[in-house]
Amino acid sequence: MNRAEKLKNIRLAVHEDAVQIAALIAPYIPQFVLNEQGAQKLQQPVIEALLNHATVHYYVYAPDQHIRAVIAFNSAGHLIHFFTAQSFLRQGLGRLLWQYAEASMLAQGNEHISVNSSCDAQGVYEAFGFYTVSSVIEASGLRFIQMRKDLSRAR
Measure the CA–CA gap between 83 and 97, rounded to whole angstroms.
Answer: 10
For 90, which DSSP code? Answer: T
Work out the percent of the chain whose per-residue pLDDT is above 70. Answer: 98
Domains in the chain with CATH codes: 3-113 (3.40.630.30)
Q: Report pLDDT for 65.
A: 86
- Give the CA diameter of the chain: 41
Asked whether 118 and 136 are in contact (CB, 8 A), the reply is no
The model's pLDDT over 94-145, given as tens digits with 9 standing for 90+, comes to 999 999 999 999 999 999 999 999 999 999 999 999 999 999 999 999 999 9
Q: Report pLDDT for 153.
A: 60
pLDDT band of residue 8 (cuts 50, 70, 90) is confident
Measure the CA–CA gap between 144 and 5, rounded to whole angstroms.
Answer: 34
Measure the CA–CA gap between 155 and 152, rounded to whole angstroms.
Answer: 6
How confident is the prediction for the chain on average, in pLDDT?
A: 92
The model's pLDDT over 18-66, given as tens digits with 9 standing for 90+, comes to 999 999 999 999 999 999 999 999 999 999 999 999 999 999 999 988 9
